[in-house]
Amino acid sequence: MAHVVHSYTDLPAAAHACAVRVAHLLREMIGVRGKAHLGLSGGNTPKPMYALLAGLPDIDWSVVHFWWGDERCVPRTDKNSNERMARESLLSHIPFVEENVHTLPTTLAPAECAAAYEAEMRRTCEVDPKTSMPVIDILLLGIGDDGHTLSLFPRSPTLAEAARAVASTQAPPTSPVKDRVTLTFPAARSARYRVFLAAGADKKPVVAGCLAQPPADQPSARVGDAEWFLDAAATP
């Protein structure tokens, strides 16, 4: 897979195209495998995409498994919870099955939460025999203006993790929630499809770094080739 870049006038147009693409991939996975594993991203950018995705037809949501690429270690009702955002923007609008929503046990200590989530992934997902990593079919990703994706931040020791699929980590001091749990690079690279949605001029340099040959030294450039849905401002 090589990078594929789609550029649109603004975020609403990019979000719509991204939703249509994700819906197509979900239908494809369900048609081939009878189910699909979707990794959700957090933050504000995917909210309009989730709302649009919920309204698209011919998706059997009852066989879609929902995962999170990363989560803040806060209660699920907290305003900073990625799960809360996804439930409000997407899950509350579709006929999903609760047992297929694989939430992170954030009441545990971060390292215990990471270990429990990895065990849940290994019980539920196919495991790639080459990488020994659990496989998410479609992993949705965002990108920060510091080059991070998931909760893989520049200069973090977690960037060196090679054996675990899920790890506890810490965000920079400027973050309102420092304790995080995140998929690691090996797990992200094992996804069948990686899909970035990004908007805004502050994202343009880091998007360019991901697409450069060789890629820039930033975490988002290390998750593997992806399909990109960008607004004009974020497009290199």
For 43-47, the CB contacts below 8 A with 24+ separation are 43/82, 43/85, 43/142, 45/11, 45/142, 45/197, 45/198, 45/199, 46/15, 46/89, 46/140, 46/142, 46/197, 47/85, 47/89
Residue 75 has what pLDDT?
96
Q: Which helix (H) or strand (E) holds 38?
A: strand 36-40
Residue 224 has what pLDDT?
96
Residue 165 has what pLDDT?
98
Residue 30 has what pLDDT?
98
- Collapsing DSSP states into helix, strand and coil, what is residue 98? helix
Residues of the chain with pLDDT under 50: none
Residue 207 has what pLDDT?
98
Residue 147 has what pLDDT?
97
Q: What is the largest CA-CA distance in the chain?
A: 44
Q: What tens digit of pLDDT does each residue of 166-176 get?
A: 999 999 999 99
What strands, in cross-sheet order, belong to the sheet with 64-68?
A: 4-8, 227-231, 193-198, 138-141, 36-40, 64-68
Structural fold of domain 4-234:
Rossmann fold (3.40.50)
Residue 112 has what pLDDT?
98
Residue 203 has what pLDDT?
98
